[in-house]
């Protein structure tokens, strides 16, 4: 008999939805559009020209990586994300965004963690595993107006948001962060969709976040360069005692992040062929996403109570179609009640879909509805 420490966290229900759709697709021999998934499906990033730069027969690949990450990658991240203005010592490589978030909540001592009212379900499970209390805030205005009540607490910001795809104005986000930070709150900025949409050379947002010592950035290369299979991301924070303790947790949970993934991302950030591969991946992906969103707007299929006239920007949107109705039309989705505890609307009539898929395929399926 093995006795178990149950955390109360749940195995992902979204995985269950995917398995169900694959089963009915195989049984019926019908193609399904898997918009339940959270990945970019327009195209893969073409890494073939980059792989030539990697020497597989080297100690660099074959022996343990440095615990906090390879210096060359941390420097490349500093250049690409912070215009060289961060300290490399404040950047640690992690096992994707999930790895970063888990380490953050393993390390931080905080009264309560506040999540957006529409949240990515994994947040709750990671918090539960790490025995952190949580609550929900309605919007950025609320944070800015009630900043003082978040003293001693941690606020998570996800912008563009998963599941809604809502992107707030950068100045509004910074304004809310500034107020929270002055009030004594810690901010976790987990926005892995941002860098898919913004031009890296002209986006100075991360650089502007460097003024906040008690702000932790969790980032991922899963979405912005489409490498979710490589399980790689990073975190940044300039609070030294926090990072020192986090480094110990990083060592004993990972013993370093896969060297191949690190070198691959380094080449994507530094070599001209890598930069171009990432640029092509992003521009084709973003064009198709925009076309799909325009299509949904024209057909009045977006959940108006969520957007209230604002145009989504992320890889997800909430549509006013039920999971069941979409399934009948061979489209996978996730019911909205997986992402919020709000009441007031009949959540069963709404679902989250991923819009990062070829526009031709998207319209082929949606035109039947």
Ligand X SMILES: Cc1ncc(COP(=O)(O)O)c(C=O)c1O
Chain positions contacting ligand X, by CB under 6 A? 38, 96-98, 120, 158, 162, 190, 192, 220, 222, 228, 233
Q: Which is nearer to ligand X, 116 or 366 (CB)?
A: 116
For residue 247, the Cα-to-chain-centroid distance in whole angstroms is 22
Query: Helix (H, G, I), strand (E, B), or coil: what is residue 66?
Result: coil
Nearer to ligand X, 143 or 366 (CB): 143
Collect all residues with Cβ–Cβ distance below 8 Å to 174 and sequence separation of at least 6. Answer: 208
Question: In the bound complex, what is the minimum distance in angstroms from residue 148's beta carbon to ligand X?
Answer: 27
Q: How many angstroms separate the CA atoms of 60 and 82, rounded?
A: 26
HSE of 326 in the Cβ direction (CA atoms, 13 Å)? 28
CB of 155 to ligand X, least distance (A): 15
Among residues 107, 41, 101, 99, which one has the least CA distance to residue 230? Answer: 99
* Residue with smaller CB distance to ligand X, 76 or 235: 235
Contact, 198 vs 188, CB < 8 A? no
Supply φ then ψ for residue 216, to 5 degrees: -115, 125
Q: Which CB, 285 or 366, lies closer to ligand X?
A: 285
Q: Tell me how far, at minimum, the Cβ of 288 lies from ligand X, in Å.
A: 19
Closer residue to ligand X, CB minimum distance, 181 or 223: 223
Nearer to ligand X, 69 or 192 (CB): 192
Between 281 and 366, CB nearer to ligand X = 281
Please report how close the Cβ of residue 223 comes to ligand X at its closest, in angstroms.
Answer: 7
Name the DSSP letter for residue 356: -
Q: What is the dihedral of CA 158, 91, 257, 196, to 10 degrees?
A: 40
Q: From the CB of 27, what's the least distance to ligand X, in Å?
A: 28
CB of 95 to ligand X, least distance (A): 7
Q: Closer to ligand X at the Cβ: 97 or 335?
A: 97
- Check if the beta carbon of residue 280 is closer than 8 Å to that of residue 132: no
Least distance (Å) from ligand X to the CB of residue 192?
Answer: 5
> What are the tokens at 367?
């035109």
Which DSSP helix (H) or strand (E) runs through 136? strand 134-137
From the CB of 119, what's the least distance to ligand X, in Å? 8
Residue given tokens 């997986």 in the structure block: 338
In sequence order, what are the residues at sequence separation of 6 or more whose Cβ sits closer than 8 angstroms to the Cβ of residue 202? none
The structure tokens 């926005």 sit at 191
* Backbone dihedral region for residue 13 (phi beyond 0: left; psi -120 to 50: alpha; all else: beta): alpha
Taking CB atoms, the residue at the shortest distance from ligand X is 97
Residue 17 and residue 121: Cα distance in Å, rounded?
A: 14
Are the beta carbons of 190 and 96 closer than 8 angstroms? no
CB atoms within 10 A of CB 91: 27
Nearest residue (CB) to ligand X, 315 versus 321: 315
Judge if the upstream peptide bond of residue 160 is cis by omega within 30 degrees of 0. Answer: yes
CB of 228 to ligand X, least distance (A): 5
The minimum distance between CB 103 and ligand X, in angstroms, equals 12
Q: Whose Cβ is closer to ligand X: residue 90's or residue 159's?
A: 159
């Amino acid at each position: 008999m093995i006795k178990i420490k149950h955390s109360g966290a749940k195995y992902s229900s979204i995985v269950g939805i995917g398995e169900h759709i694959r089963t009915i697709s195989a049984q019926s021999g019908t193609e399904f559009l898997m918009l339940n998934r959270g990945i970019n499906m327009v195209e893969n990033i073409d890494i073939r020209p980059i792989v030539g730069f990697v020497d597989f027969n080297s100690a660099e690949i074959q022996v343990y990586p440095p615990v906090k990450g390879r210096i060359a990658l941390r420097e490349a991240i500093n250049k690409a994300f912070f215009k060289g203005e961060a300290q490399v010592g404040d950047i640690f490589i992690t096992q994707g965004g999930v790895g970063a978030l888990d380490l953050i909540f393993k390390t931080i001592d905080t009264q309560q963690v506040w999540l957006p009212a529409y949240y990515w379900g994994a947040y709750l499970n990671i918090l539960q595993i790490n025995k952190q209390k949580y609550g929900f805030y309605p919007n950025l205005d609320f944070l800015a107006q009630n900043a003082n009540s978040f003293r001693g607490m941690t606020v998570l910001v996800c912008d563009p948001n998963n599941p809604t795809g809502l992107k707030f104005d950068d100045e509004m986000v910074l304004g809310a962060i500034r107020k929270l930070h002055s009030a004594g709150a810690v901010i976790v900025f987990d926005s892995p969709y941002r860098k898919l949409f913004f031009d890296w050379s002209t986006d100075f947002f991360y650089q502007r976040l460097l003024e906040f010592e008690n702000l932790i950035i969790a980032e991922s290369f899963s979405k912005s360069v489409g490498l979710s299979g490589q399980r790689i991301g990073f975190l940044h924070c300039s609070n030294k005692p926090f990072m020192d303790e986090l480094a110990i947790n990083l060592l004993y949970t990972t013993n370093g992040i896969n060297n191949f993934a690190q070198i691959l991302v380094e080449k994507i950030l530094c070599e001209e062929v890598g930069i171009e591969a990432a640029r092509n991946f992003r521009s084709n992906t973003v064009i198709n996403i925009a076309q799909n969103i325009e299509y949904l707007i024209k057909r009045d299929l977006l959940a108006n109570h969520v957007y209230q006239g604002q145009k989504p920007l992320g890889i997800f949107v909430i549509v006013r179609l039920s999971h069941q109705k979409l399934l009948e039309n061979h489209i996978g989705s996730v019911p909205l009640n997986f992402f919020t505890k709000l009441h007031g609307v009949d959540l069963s009539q709404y679902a989250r879909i991923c819009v990062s898929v070829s526009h031709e395929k998207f319209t082929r399926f949606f035109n039947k509805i």
